[in-house]
Chains A and B, each alone.
Chain A
Amino acid sequence: MSRQPRVLWLVLALLAVLVAVTACGGGQPQAAAPSQAPAPTQAPAPKATEAPKPAPTTAPTQAPAPKATEAPKATEAPKATEAPKTTTSGAASPGVTDSEIVIGSWGPQDGPAGAYGVIDRAIAAYFKKVNDEGGINGRKVRFVYENDSYAPAKTVAAVKKLVEEDKVFALVGGLGTANNLAVTEYLVQNNVPHLSPNTGSTSVVKPLKKGVFGLQLDYTTEATLLTQYALDTLKGQKIAVFYQNDQFGKEGLDGINAELKKRNLPEATLVSYEPTDTNFSAQALKLQTTGADTVIIYAVPKPGASIIAEMTKIGFKPKMLSSAVINDPSLFQLAGPGAEGLIIAAWLPDYKDTSNPKIAEYQEFMKKYAANEQIGSFSLVGYTQGQLATEALKRAGKDLTRDGLIKALESFQDWKGSVAPSLTYTATDHQGVKAAYFQQAKNNVFVNITDFITMK
């Protein structure tokens, strides 16, 4: 074949041995190498405390049984590249200098889910406002947000960059259920607090994780609220559920059935659809034949609107409640007149309702700091997250540490300072909003029909 195959093979074999040796020793020698590199940037890294640090801090808070699988991971010798970061959890916090706090986030800025990108841009605008007003405890906030195009593999890269290169103090935002699940363990291990991950899925915040604080109404809580409202206020007798056959739909379904079980009522009748379905006439008929007088919908906008249209077509007019996920501008066009009377639970007030002083303030802010962005529910979410983070950082005080930030958050007791009407965190409950406005569709807009109602 060639003139020097033997030499090549020899070199190759040597190389293989070399690599094998390095890889096997990977656990220890490498732990030494990289920890030297970032050291200069992180002033006094107390080496002795490196390894044991993450264990005691994470273990006690992870009480619930399913967490058992994660606890031992944290106690193991820290990864080579992570060693330096974990050290800093106690003494000198990464991302905090005398004049600056670095906060990070990720979300899609392009691609099919790019519309969500406005959330991060709104948070950035909010921090600009905070900085213009003098910053937080004398420090300015530097907000770094990465574009992950909604792909979990890119989210992992983005978060590693934020933690290792930008050395963020904490994350605020961070969008997508799958994207969150891909990085949550890494963030917990590195003791990086994560405020208000942008997902309605209960699975990110629960079971309790140190440093992960949910903000928006999760699907389980939302479903519980909807069920309580259907039974107590609407006096529904028989509930049927139309749900998407996936994690989202099932979380809603479980919430509904748990509430029914609590009241010793029979389980709801279930009609499901696959995310790929396009025709819903069969499901509409099935819902009608169940004899239910109340239908709760856990569907994304298009199928949700279609089932309403189909039910109207066959003359089935139950009381309808739905997850707020359905609230898309296209809903009323697709669902037609049948959507009139549909009830949803919203955790934020309507972004158009300027009679609410907080919303007036938000619109004022948008004009001044984000004139190019749309006034709408996404930017309102970002704005609210900025408010939450700012308050938490203020409460954490001048001596800013990650543990201090977590303590500060756990001191939130019925806090009314943000657009979200009330916010409470405790050491055992990191789910923020547990209440909602009930809104009803009237003449193709959702209007508030109740005040902020808390879960019973």
Chain B
Amino acid sequence: MRQSLFPHPKSLLLVLAAALLPPLLGVIPGIPVGYVLYLVCLALIYAIVALGLNLLIGYAGQFSLGHAGFLAIGAYASAVLTQRFGWPFLLALPMAGLLTAAVGFLLGLPALRLSGPYLALVTLGFGLSIPQLVLWRGELTGGAGGLRDLPPASVLGLELRSESAYYYLVFLVIVALTLFARNVVQSHTGRAFIAIRDSEIAAQAMGVNLTRYKTTAFALSAFYAGVAGSLYAHLIRFISPESFTVILSVEFLTMIVVGGLGSVSGSIVGALFLTALPEVFARLPVLKDFKNLFIVVFGAVLILTILFFPRGLAGAWSTRTRPIPPPAEPAARPQEAV
């Protein structure tokens, strides 16, 4: 387990480079800044969901196929609060997170009695039901037509209309949430999560309160998705039930598996990788004519990752770049690979 806040001085450089991304892009001629930044924003928003999902699956060992539902709750909460009730965005953003966390807490309750495929089914049902609820409360949520022309995100009276301004907002949020996730993981709570993941009975025997930590894991994970939902809604400024499909939940799951289960940086790497992949594929001259090739590659990436990098891209990267502590490595491996 890594100890410092940033495991490697390189990650600070990475953060710094990320902060300078918009001006850097602006300098290079021919780069469609708005398009690239929009994609990066979207990828980072997905990365926030992946961070939360990884806390739940990778650390606490509880399964979820319903995170698109959490994303939807956050998005709709933020959209309705700002558009219908005139809340400022800065208030609606945490509120969306907290509301979603409350729902996550409730979903965590059945998780106390369920595990494995049964829990997966419950969360799947949850993810499927959220768009239906949106239709049911049509007068509030705009029904199938969705909510459009959402107010742009604004911070202290400053409207973040441009992609670069919005990028900084998303960037700040993800930096904060990454640090938070890292700290949670290294705290008492994180150790309790891991204990539950590895063996519920053993964890209980050690005095870990299952009820408390399982619901915490769900609430925490939902909080991340809720915040991401709010950012999603105000990035696209249009939401409809069609945007939050089960496919999206599966994509989130793929992100953390490819990035690395039980790895904070892996969540981000996975989200960026999987958002960029289809765009790259659409540009390759010959391959783009094979319409569904991307889906095949998606599957292949998943299988290859599981076969060759069981700890995901992040795990593969860190073992390659840091072959430093030979004695610690074999001991650490079995724990993290679970």
Contact = CB atoms under 8 A, between A and B. Distances in A.
Interface of A: 1-5, 8-9, 11-12, 15-16, 18-20, 22-24, 26-27, 30-31, 33-34, 36-38, 40-41, 69-70, 76, 79-82, 109-111, 114, 117, 146-147, 150-153, 156-157, 160-161, 163-165, 177-178, 181-182, 185, 201, 203, 245-248, 250, 274-276
Contacts of A81: 33-34, 37, 162-164
Given A5-B4, A110-B294, A23 B168 contact: yes
Contacts of A161: 32, 35
B27 A181 contact: no
Given A1-B186, A153-B42, 14 more contacts: A11-B12, A15-B16, A19-B171, A26-B158, A37-B27, A80-B164, A80-B165, A82-B34, A117-B291, A147-B282, A152-B238, A178-B238, A246-B143, A247-B145
B305 to A, nearest CB: 22
15 contacts: A19-B172, A24-B158, A26-B164, A30-B162, A40-B29, A69-B149, A79-B162, A80-B33, A147-B291, A157-B38, A160-B38, A161-B35, A163-B35, A181-B240, A276-B132
A37 B28 contact: yes
Interface in B129-169: 132, 135, 143-146, 148-149, 155, 158-165, 168-169
Contacts of A24: 158
Given A110-B292, A114-B291, A185-B237, A153 B168 contact: no
A38 B25 CA distance: 11
B33 A157 contact: no
Interface string B77-98: 0000000000000000000000
Interface in B233-258: 236-238, 240, 242-243, 245, 247
Contact of A27 (B9, B31, B162, B172): B162
B11 to A, nearest CB: 10
A279 B123 CA distance: 26
A124 to B, nearest CB: 12
Nearest to B156: A24
A109 B291 contact: yes
B279 A157 contact: yes
B293 to A, nearest CB: 9
B317 interface: no
Main secondary structure of the interface of A (DSSP, over half): helix
Contacts of B16: 15
Interface residues of B, number: 63
Given A2-B3, A69-B149, A110-B292, A15 B19 contact: yes
Main secondary structure of the interface of B (DSSP, over half): helix
Contacts of B30: 37-38, 41
A19 B19 contact: yes
Nearest to A184: B148
Contacts of A247: 143-145
A185 B32 contact: no
Q: Which of B232, B236, B238 has the most CB of A within 10 A?
A: B238
B6 interface: yes
B168 A164 contact: no
B141 to A, nearest CB: 12
A38 B29 contact: yes
B326 interface: no
Given A15-B16, A146-B282, A178-B238, A160 B295 contact: no
